Structure 1
Amino acid sequence: MGHWLDRNIIEPGKLPLLLALAAFVVTFLVTRSITRLIRAGKGPFRNVSAGGLHIHHAVPGVVLTVIGGFGAVASGRHGLGAFLSAVVFGIGAGLVLDEFALILHLNDVYWTEEGRKSVEAVVLTAALVGLLLAGFAPFGVNDLSTEELQGRGAAITSVAVNFLFSLVSLSKGKTRTALYGVVVPLIALVGAVRLARPGSPWARRFYRRRPRARARSLVRAYRHDRRWSGPGRAVQDWIAGAPDRSAGGR
């Protein structure tokens, strides 16, 4: 049955990736629902502690990620073993990235403003995996024909150019654009030719003696943030819960 699904619903070999993505998203949503209930003091759920030590769910997440990753390597991309490993890996990754901000800051910032980085990491990961499922390959290699792929020079040149676009976007302070550009080169190209964000390495290096460019960069960044920050935060709050106004974790 697994092979039938693999052949007829999605591109061959991508069913494990689809299962991992589904498990990842569902795990994140379920975990956030449970933590929001714990935060509100509702339902039967409580924080897990051992000897007075709070056990964060990133801990079992790491264990499941390791098990799923090694299981996937051992089983290949087909068969029941590969499908189960993909699901286990997706669950583990969902648990780990739900506490990405805690790992980044080495502090319990789950319900603080810094904790929003966890939601951003989850959304970004899901989007990138979704692009891979849609048929995009890193640095635009999927855009090359069979003949071009056979010629190492063309393939290497394509990867190098697309990597350069992503690197320029990253240096301009456009992290999301650079990451999305890894799998969709046109996005990285747009980020590479547009103005850098204020304070980015590119702006500090090339706008130092260009007051007009600095001013345009500031105005554009202000307008962009004013337009999108509010809706973006509202979506994050709807998905994962609003952070506490006061500092502190759980």
Structure 2
Amino acid sequence: MGYWLHRNIIEPGKLPLLLALTAFVLTFVIARVITRMIRAGKGPFRNIDSGGVHIHHVVPGVLLMVAGGFGAVASGREGVGPALCAVLFGVGVGLVLDEFALILHLHDVYWTEQGRKSVEMVVMTAALVSLVLCGFLPFGVNDVGRQELADRGSVILSVGLNFLFALLALSKGKARIALFGVIVPFIAVIGAIRLARPHSPWARHFYRRRPRARARSQLRAFHHDRRWAGLSRKVQDWIGGAPDGPTGASVHTADRR
């Protein structure tokens, strides 16, 4: 284990990234445990208020991100500075993305259906950073050999094609595939060659006069959502807690911190 850590993490200079990712995941988990305990009325934790203003944990998260980011720029690459700044930055990102939906909607939607976006963002961020930590680089240029890397044309072509496929997947309403396609070589091809989602820019433009393609797109989207939406919601509820019902009778969103 020690050899693997030194060979794959410390020697390539990825220790700060590993520390940031670990701090990010642990912070999110701890924040969710605390907020779920407050929601259930258990434990010693209570909401934080200052002068009648409810303090969301995105506030200290932003401060920690600023401190960790500027500290990393100022500390260079030697000593314990980069590692400490990476931990501060990871903790800050964990607090901020835990309330990503609040920032997006500019409203406290933590325990609502819209609040699921926070869990989605945290899971996707952790997955993408993990891929980078494992050696995957944006646009997949890490998979070319030394001789091929010397040929700049091959690298430019690889980056260009991957970027094009990612854009096509994004225009077809497949944002997750497009995002992961930037990291994993040519995974965006899957989203680029398949039918577009019904309300995507591609479908609105190219399926407008093609009723058969439009019908196939709607049918495929229906079957896909029926197959995976329920499972996705169960996983999100397990990670972040189930949102309030339509009436919100279980607990006020303001009483969660």
Calculate the TM-score normalised by the size of structure 2: 0.92
Deviations 1:51-86 (A, max 9, x none): 000011000000101111112222334531111111
1:228 aligns with 228
Give the match's secondary structure for 1:185: coil
2:18 aligns with 18
- Is it true that 1:74 corresponds to 2:78 in the alignment? no
1:48 aligns with 48
Residue correspondence of structure 1 range 1-250 to structure 2 within 5 A: 7-8=6-7, 10=9, 12-245=12-245, 246=247, 249-250=253-254
Tell whether the 8 Å contact from 1:6 to 1:12 is kept in structure 2 after alignment.
Answer: no
Separation (CA, whole Å) in 2 of partners of 1:184 and 1:116: 25
Separation (CA, whole Å) in 1 of partners of 2:188 and 2:76: 32
**Deviation of 1:30 (Å):** 0.2
Q: Which amino acid aligns with 2:238?
A: W
Separation (CA, whole Å) in 2 of partners of 1:166 and 1:49: 44
The unaligned stretches of length 5 or more in structure 1 are none
Give the match's secondary structure for 2:253: coil
**Deviation of 1:102 (Å):** 0.3
Aligned-pair identity in percent equals 69
Q: Which amino acid aligns with 2:183?
A: V
The unaligned stretches of length 5 or more in structure 2 are none
Separation (CA, whole Å) in 1 of partners of 2:42 and 2:72: 38
Separation (CA, whole Å) in 2 of partners of 1:221 and 1:51: 49
Q: Which amino acid aligns with 2:200?
A: S
Tell whether the 8 Å contact from 1:16 to 1:82 is kept in structure 2 after alignment.
Answer: yes
Give the match's secondary structure for 2:109: coil
Separation (CA, whole Å) in 1 of partners of 2:4 and 2:190: 37
Separation (CA, whole Å) in 2 of partners of 1:60 and 1:202: 40
Equivalenced residues, count: 248
Q: Which amino acid aligns with 1:215?
A: A
Separation (CA, whole Å) in 1 of partners of 2:98 and 2:64: 14
Quick check: 4-13 or 30-39, which moved more?
Answer: 4-13
Separation (CA, whole Å) in 2 of partners of 1:19 and 1:139: 24
Separation (CA, whole Å) in 1 of partners of 2:139 and 2:204: 27
Separation (CA, whole Å) in 1 of partners of 2:144 and 2:4: 28
Tell whether the 8 Å contact from 1:13 to 1:78 is kept in structure 2 after alignment.
Answer: no
**Deviation of 1:12 (Å):** 1.6
Separation (CA, whole Å) in 1 of partners of 2:109 and 2:253: 5
Separation (CA, whole Å) in 2 of partners of 1:77 and 1:20: 15
Q: Which amino acid aligns with 2:22?
A: A
Separation (CA, whole Å) in 1 of partners of 2:78 and 2:22: 17
Q: Which amino acid aligns with 1:42?
A: K
**Alpha-carbon spacing, 1:77–1:7, altered in 2? closer, same or farther (3 Å):** farther
Separation (CA, whole Å) in 2 of partners of 1:110 and 1:183: 30
**Deviation of 1:153 (Å):** 2.4
Pairwise CA RMSD: 1.7
Separation (CA, whole Å) in 1 of partners of 2:167 and 2:8: 35
Calculate the TM-score normalised by the size of structure 1: 0.94
Separation (CA, whole Å) in 2 of partners of 1:227 and 1:160: 34
**Deviation of 1:16 (Å):** 0.8
Deviations 1:168-218 (A, max 9, x none): 111100111110111013320111111100100000011111111111111
